Each structure stands twice: as C-alpha cells, then as structure tokens.
Chain A
Amino acid sequence: MIKFEHVYKEYDNNSAIKDLNLEIEDGDFFVMVGTSGSGKTTTLKMINRLIKPTSGQILIDGKNIDTYDLQKMRLNMGYVLQNIALFPNLTIEENITIQPDSLHWTKDKRKRVAWDLLKKVGLDPEKYAKRMPNELSGGEQQRVGIIRALATSPKMVLMDEPFSALDPISRTQLQDLVLKLHRELQTTFIFVTHDMHEAIRLGNTIAVLSKGNLEQIGNRDDILNHPKNDFVKGFFKLEKDGQSTVGEIIDAGFGQPVDTEINSTLLKEDSVNRMATELKNNNGIVIFDNDGRNYQLTNSDLLDFLAKEGEK
C-alpha cells in the first residue's frame, strides 16, 4: 500500500502540490486525472523519488520511501513514459530486459521473460525481439514500453500519460491491453492522464486533481454520479451529457446476464458509440463484466434502445 501524508511540493515558492493525503491499495488500478499543472505527474514521480517532496512523507507498506535503497526500490517499480523512451541503440529484447540485466538475471531467464511478454502483447518474438526501436510503429513501441515496465514482475507500475501521443485506434487498443494485463497480473497500476474518458475507462479508483489539490477520489460511480464539487462535475460533464451510456441501456431493461466468457472490456460507463464499435468487432454480441456479473448485449438491443430514445 502507498500512502501520502501531508505531502507538499513547491517550485521556487510556487505551490505544485498542497497537503496531499491519499492511499493506493495493492492491486488497484489507480488513475490520477487532471489538466496540465494539476500536479498529477509530480505526484506520480514522487513515488519513485524522481521528485522529492518539499515536506510530508510517502510510505510504501508502512515504511517511508526515503528509507529504501533507491536503486533496489526502483528496480522493483515499472515505469512507462509519455514519449516511450526506448533506448535507440538497443534491440527490443535488450530494451525489455534492461532492468533484469541490472538485477543480474541469467541470459536464458532474461530471454524467456522478454519472449513471454512480447507474446502477451501480440508481438511475435521471432519477428520483433532482434529489431531496433525505430523499426516499430508508435503503437508497437509503446507496447514494448509497457512490457519493459513489467519485466521484473514489479509490485507496482507507474505510467505517465503513456498513450497521449498515440492515434485514437492505437490508444483504444493499448487501453484494452493494460486492462487485460492488470486483470492477469493483479499488480498495482498507477496511471496519470489528462483524458477523462481514459480515466473513466481504466480506473478502479480515480483521483481528480486540480492546481495541486485533490478534488475528489472515488470509483467511477462516485465521480460520475456524485461529483463532490463543481470542478469535478464540470470536468466530467461532457462524458455524461454527450451520449447515453451502456448503463442506461441496461437500466432500460435490455440485455441479460449470462455465464459465457466475456469478449470485451466494455464498461457500464462507456458511451453507446463505443458499444457500437465493440458490437461490430464481435459479430453483434458483446459479453462484458458488469459489476462482477457477465452481461450480454446484442445489435438489436442497441437498435431497440436507440429507437425507444428517438420516440421520446
């Protein structure tokens, strides 16, 4: 568990973080969202001590992070950067295993981990392991950036706006990928974004920051339906007002709970637009996780719902 206690950060007497108190549970998918200057990236970088707080303390498993050996601590934290930052002189495999190499893993073990991870994110190791970063597309590079952060099976992975430079299609694919990885690994993911859609799609816990203040912390429902103040309400207004959500379709009585395997990462909070995309990709039937129960929606559910809405 990570705990911030009365953390302040000032740059040249300008306050970047003001009295931050929060807790991140093990295994959580924790998203910090806010506009630029909100302090979200500063908060993230204080966890792996790239930035030092001006006052207050940060605890991991009850121990102040300053008491950990810096290198050892960082070797057990994954880190994904906005601009990917793969080492251009190293092959994809060498990039993935840069932390294992520092931990003196054997060559065989390093290779096995790299190949497993490449397979996990849909990059054929035979084809990709020996390539150089500049031979890959932006989306492919960031897949490598993500699995590089997972190579040592760290307790937590820090991600600093990792998808903001990608095109919308790659972004959605990679969002699905991190959700899948999180489900499989149960590692703590701490994710920073300025994109509220992304925050809603990914976060189990969402922290909304503004000008160095923590405005609200809670799950999707809390943030969307019970905004604590006008700032949070305004920030997510578009998300709510723009379109109907999947949740409204369910509430209107369409679809049904099923026992079949899920085939989509669709969420109750997603827009009908996204639902249409998912239906198209899955031959007209999506099965997804709806608050712990698998739920099925079909093309005709969507059409009927829209027709009913149109009648109003």
Chain B
Amino acid sequence: MYTCGIDVGSVSAEAVILNRQDGKFEIVAYIITPTGGDSKEAATNVFNRALEKSGLGASDMSSVVATGYGRLNIPFATKNITEISCHARGVVHYFPDIKTVIDIGGQDSKVIKLDSKGNPIDFLMNDKCAAGTGRFLEVMARALDIDIRDFAKIFAGTSQKVDISSTCTVFAESEIVSLIGHGVAKNSIVKGLVYSITGRIISMVERVGLEGPVCMTGGVAKNLAVVSALEERLNLKIKVPEEPQITGALGAALLGYPKE
C-alpha cells in the first residue's frame, strides 16, 4: 500500500512515496526540486517525478497528503495537513524519543514540542519575516559572495565573530555590506551571521521550553554551521535525519495511512 507526501515550501518542493508492508515503512522514492514561481506546477512536477522514479502510477497511491505553505493549492491531494504535524510525524519515524523539533525552512522556522508519544503539543513559528530562516542565510551568502555550503568549514575554522545587530534580512544585508566596506573579515561575518540566526531560534526554543532529545529538520539542517552553533548554545547534541529536507513530505506520507 503506497502513499505520497508532498511538501511545497517557498524554496523547494519535496515528494516522498512510501510503502507499508508487514507494518514496516519503506521510502520507495523521493524527489527534491526548487519550487519556482508556481507552487501548483511545482507540486505536479515533483509528484510526477517521484512516480517516475518509483515506477508507480498515480492510481497506485492510496492517498496523497499535501503540506507546506503551498498545501492548499494542490488539486490532486486527498488531504492537507500542516507542516507542524507532518514534521513531528516524520521526526518520530526516525527518532521516536524526540521531544523538541527545530525546523528551519526557506521561508519560516518553527519549534515544535512533542509529548512522550510523539504528539505535537505546542509550537511556535517565526513572525512574518525571513529573519531566522534559510532565505536569510541565502541572501547573506550572496552579499558575501560565499558559497553557502562553505559556511560550516568557515564557522569551524574561525574564532572571531562580529555581532550582526539587524534582525531584518534587508537591514542585515546592508549591515554586511557596510562591514565588508570597513574591512571586516568575511569569515568573522559568517560566524556572526550563524550566531544571529541561531539566536532567534534559541529564543523560540526557550519560549516553547527546551526538552531533549532535540531534532533538526528542513533544508537549513544540512548547514552544519547552524547545527553546530545550536548545539553549542543549547549545550546538547542535535539529531538530524539523513535527509532532513524531506521530513515534512515523509511525515505527510506517513499521515496518509489510515489510523492503526
């Protein structure tokens, strides 16, 4: 019995096709693509590509569950569920004992608190701006002319940091341009940026109430600089799924199965 979960975010769209056999779940195929300007088209595209990769047809899917900000705009979805429930479910699949989920995507960041059975019991989302999200890091990397994938290496190898006082993405970009103009080392700016984004996440974690174990999901979980900074500040080890970007889609696919 197959289900498909589709997570349409502001930056990327993911689809996961899942099979359940003898009570065990197996990821048959997954696809990650940029969302582009049309979320409906992105959903269709990622769905078709996942089907193609799996060698299955749409009729083989017992349900298609949509999540992410584009979840309401997917006509072929059989139901829609928020990222909050989907990320929680996806995380519990990998790590059943997780109590706090930190999800940082392209447009929003959220902290989800789980109970002992993996049910979400509270959550916080970032306010209506890109500060503290993947988009923030992307814009800053562009301003610095540094590949975002190099952030982890730079973060680990740099001891100095400058404080980035602006929380607004636009103002922070101006601040960085100004710092570069004043001859501040780019590596120190990178370190400051990582601490800036984690500072916002930490305050959300504290509001919800930190309880370990903690798991991080979303595209930014691939950025080891951010993960390291969070571990340092929270003083604990953060678990990250092998492919953190598909956690929402995986959770959606899992929630597509009927209740047991």
A and B co-occur in one complex? no
